[in-house]
Amino acid sequence: MTSPIRTERDGNVLVIVSDNPPVNALGQAVRAGLADAIAKGLADPDIEAMVIRCDGQTFFAGADITEFGKPPQGPSLPQVLDRIEASDKPVVAAIHGTALGGGCELALACHYRLAVPKAKLGLPEVKLGLIPGAGGTQRLPRLVGAKAALPLVVLGNPISARDALDIGLLDLLTGDSSLEAEAIAFARSKAGQPVPRTSQGTANQDGVRDPAIFDEFRVTQGRAMRGLDAPNAAIAAVRAAAELPFAEGVKKERELFVGLMTGTQSKAMRHYFFAERAAQKIADLPADTPLLPIRAVGVIGAGTMGGGIAMNFLSAGIPVILLEMQQEALDRGTAVMRRNYEASAKRGRMTMAQVDAAMDLLTPTLDYADLADCDLVIEAVYENMDVKKQVFARLDEVTKPGAILASNTSYLSIDEIATATQRPGHVLGLHFFSPANVMKLLEVVRGAQTRGDVLATAMKLARTIGKVAAVSGVCAGFIGNRMLSKRQEQANKLIMEGASYWDVDDVLLEFGFPMGPFQMGDLAGLDIGWHRDPAKVTTVREALCAAGRFGQKAGKGFYDYDSARQRTPSDEVRAIIADFAAKAGHTQREVGKDEIRERLLYPMVNEGAKILDEKIAQRASDIDVVWINGYGWPIYTGGPMFWASTIGLETIVAGLDRHGLPVSDYLRKCAAEGRTFD
């Protein structure tokens, strides 16, 4: 087998090149090749300096994640990096693309680091439930200081080459196309000089002088770290870099790394990493399916949803024609969009010039004829089949042949909507989640007649606008809301049987969701869809509306809210629920948190199993992708289907049976066979 590492000579400089597509992951063959190449450079008396660079789209994007959990094969990454750093001939990292995880650690072990301006550097291991395990937590603070290292190691977000230069992680930015030549010249200029070794750097002393920075960071980043093990371990590792000599700090890092690697959180998060990528692949669609050009997008409806959807495209530089029925609604919608952009600018997420550039791409209109040249039109109007059909019939008339027509419906049949057109092959669902400009998930709903190129184009487009897409077949509520309805059904039943609604919310919060169903109702507004007749009360929700308890915006809903929007359970609501339960003939009883958790979550797994069995989802991991990105399911449990397999499908079946809840044949069969879903 040929090695992915080759060497090229440029006078007295040895250029070590990795060619390991797609992302130059540091698998065993790469590590062995690097170790050999360094040894070769050291042994050759004519070589005075070395450059490490990569072919293809990126510098090393990290350790090879597919090797995790398998028996380790030497040389290990820490060993290779120690050999690089120990070289007394200067070694220069020449970075393009993304130097991530082990790739960034490799760069840290080199004596100098150069990068093209578009490069990104980072230690994203926490996103895999890990911390850097090849000396990164010890070398980085010694190079850039503990304060600058903390966000990189603990939050895992990559930074631009320019920011990396500013904090001292890079030595030099090169021209876009002269990286290799400049790296060689740089290496040559350092030949014969003593090499700076990052492990001997002293910038970490800021953490010694001001040890409070670690606790302060933990407090300010508490929300981002909630429920996760890795970020706390990452803080401990960076702190060790301030407090311990290098060799002992590395030992501490390894201890923490190994502990995380063998834990369930990292297993779940690695599952998610591959799940997100698998979700992009459509089993019966060749990877080279031709894509349709999307140069202009139409959006119907300038309400919260339509406006949010439009912003995704504007932000990606794609012109949008936004259609409304009334001028006033159109003006209101566009004003809200501008306000949202300006709020992002205030938070430093974009510049005012970018706000203007995005808004300049928007054409508001009241005239369907203006949609004639759109390549894609997304409808975000009222959830009513007759209304949707009218809109689609109209769109079919006004748009050019071959334009894709999409519905943002969250429940309705795409197949039925498609019957209103002469182009059912060009109709599909694009289900965005609210707020549509923020939430990551895009459920792409494939109708019975949706064409392959239309589907492939939608999947590609999702990436262009920064969404994580998952494909769903047609059924009421698709993957996400179909499972949500089972949870909501149980939540409503539980409070009738005597569970307190705050316990229901708290169980989900404790599980790791950002909020529970009753908090969610309060946030969204309990009066959404309310008939507005206080005399007509048939549900708890209607009773709350009749009592003026519309949710957070009214200062009261299920909960009472103070001026800081802190919630307290309400006696009035407690009485309303008890009254309803009595009328419905329920004797209320104490319901423990275990029962609540099982009854909320197990029926979701059962519904997920049915969704798989009916082939509405292509694979179990797609369901995990939907729930993690669309509904706040905690990523560190891997999503509902992965979580179910970690606690055991037989446990789920036994729980459902115990609570007298339905169990699908498919779930029972999987459990009986002792297997997992995938």
**Which residues participate in catalysis according to the annotation?**
105, 125
Q: Does 618 bind ligand 3H9 (CB under 6 A)?
A: no
**128 binds ligand 3H9, rule: CB under 6 A:** yes
Query: Which of residues 48, 85, 125, 180 is near ligand 3H9 by CB under 6 A?
Result: 125
Nearer to ligand 3H9, 17 or 128 (CB): 128
Choice from 65, 316, 336, 537 touching ligand 3H9 (CB under 6 A) = 65
The least distance separating ligand 3H9 from the CB of residue 258, rounded to whole angstroms, comes to 10
x-marked contacts with ligand 3H9 along 129-158 as a string, rule CB under 6 A: ---xxx-x----------------------
Rounded Cα gap, residues 66 and 83, in angstroms:
24
DSSP for 580-622, written as a single string: HHHHTTPPP----HHHHHHHHHHHHHHHHHHHHHTTSSSSHHH
- Least Cα distance to 621 among 642, 635, 652, 637 occurs for 642
Binding ligand 3H9 (rule: CB under 6 A), the pick from 100, 242, 483, 652 is 100
Q: Is 62 or 333 the residue whose CB approaches ligand 3H9 more closely?
A: 62
Interaction between residue 565 and ligand 3H9 (CB under 6 A): no
User: Does residue number 275 form part of the binding site for ligand 3H9 (CB under 6 A)?
Assistant: no
Region near ligand 3H9 per CB under 6 A, out of 99-107, 355-363, 550-558, 618-626: 99-107
Binding of ligand 3H9 by 58 (CB under 6 A): yes
The candidate with the shortest Cα–Cα distance to 16, out of 68, 89, 94, is: 94
- Give the residue, chosen from 4, 90, 124, 639, that forms a contact with ligand 3H9 under the rule CB under 6 A: 124
User: Residue 102 or residue 477: which is nearer to ligand 3H9 going by CB?
Assistant: 102
Q: In angstroms, give the least distance from the CB of 208 to ligand 3H9.
A: 25
- Cβ–Cβ under 8 Å, residues 113 and 171: yes
| Candidate list 33, 41, 62, 630; residue touching ligand 3H9; CB under 6 A | 62
- Record the tokens describing residue 164, joined without a space: 């990396």
Residues 6+ apart with CB under 8 A from 585: none
Does 102 bind ligand 3H9 (CB under 6 A)? Our answer is yes
Closest CB 473 distance from ligand 3H9, rounded Å: 22
Q: How far is the CB of 3 from ligand 3H9 (least distance, A)?
A: 18
Q: Check binding of 23 to ligand 3H9 (CB under 6 A).
A: yes
What does the radius of gyration of the chain's CA atoms come to, in whole angstroms?
28
Cβ contact 553:525 at 8 Å: yes
Interface pick for ligand 3H9 out of 22, 585, 660, 674 (rule CB under 6 A): 22
CA atoms within 13 A on the CB side of 328: 0
The answer to whether residue 77 forms part of the interface with ligand 3H9 (CB under 6 A) is: yes
Q: Which two tokens stand for residue 33?
A: 């090749």
Q: Applying CB under 6 A, which part among 61-69, 198-206, 372-380, 417-425 lies near ligand 3H9?
A: 61-69
Alpha-carbon gap, residue 75 to 198, rounded angstroms: 21
If one asks whether residue 107 binds ligand 3H9 (CB under 6 A), the answer comes out as no
Q: Does residue 238 bind ligand 3H9 (CB under 6 A)?
A: no
- Choice from 90, 101, 141, 429 touching ligand 3H9 (CB under 6 A): 101
Smallest distance, Å, CB 77 to ligand 3H9? 4
> Shortest gap between Cβ of 175 and ligand 3H9 (angstroms)?
23
Among 118, 162, 277, 493, binds ligand 3H9 (CB under 6 A): 277
Q: Does 4 bind ligand 3H9 (CB under 6 A)?
A: no
Residue 675's Cα: distance from chain center in Å? 28
Sheet containing 172-173: give its strands across: 5-10, 13-18, 49-54, 91-95, 112-115, 172-173
Among 35, 50, 54, 63, binds ligand 3H9 (CB under 6 A): 63
Counting contacts by CB under 6 A, is residue 516 touching ligand 3H9?
Answer: no
Alpha-carbon distance values, 171 to 166, 194, 305, 428 (Å) = 9, 16, 46, 50
Q: Is 333 among the residues that bind ligand 3H9 (CB under 6 A)?
A: no
Regarding 189 and contact with ligand 3H9 (CB under 6 A), the answer is no
Q: Which stretch binds ligand 3H9 (CB under 6 A): 60-68, 289-297, 406-414, 485-493?
A: 60-68
Q: What is the per-residue DSSP string for 47-59?
A: --EEEEEE-TT-S
For the chain, helix (H) and strand (E) counts, in that order, are 29, 19
| DSSP per residue, 194-230 | PPP-GGG--TTHHHHH-THHHHHHHHHTHHHHTT-SH
The site that binds ligand 3H9 (CB under 6 A) totals a number of residues, namely 24
At 443, which helix (H) or strand (E)?
A: strand 441-445
Query: Quick one: which of 7, 98, 198, 408 contacts ligand 3H9 (CB under 6 A)?
Result: 98
What kind and span of H or E run contains 468?
Answer: strand 468-472
3-class secondary-structure state, position 293 = coil
Nearest residue to 238 via CA among 168, 165, 135: 135
By the rule CB under 6 A, 639 interacts with ligand 3H9: no
Q: Is the peptide bond before 211 cis (omega within 30 degrees of 0)?
A: no
Q: Which is nearer to ligand 3H9, 62 or 521 (CB)?
A: 62
Q: Minimum distance between the CB of residue 318 and ligand 3H9, rounded to whole angstroms?
A: 19
Binding status of residue 279 toward ligand 3H9 by CB under 6 A? no
- When binding is defined by CB under 6 A, the residue of 8, 9, 11, 66 that contacts ligand 3H9 is 66
Vertex 523, ends 414 and 530: CA angle to 5°? 65
Q: For residues 391 and 423, what is the distance between their CA atoms, to the nearest angstrom?
A: 14
Alpha-carbon gap, residue 224 to 528, rounded angstroms = 30
For residue 580, CA distances in Å to 181, 197, 535, 576 come to 77, 72, 15, 6
Q: Which is nearer to ligand 3H9, 134 or 459 (CB)?
A: 134
CA-nearest of 169, 465, 435 to 316 is 465
Give the residue with the Cβ less far from ligand 3H9, 157 or 304: 157
Q: Report residue 62 CA to chain centroid gap.
A: 19
Q: Which residues contact ligand 3H9 (rule: CB under 6 A)? A: 22-23, 25, 58, 61-66, 77, 98, 100-102, 105, 124-125, 128, 132-134, 136, 277
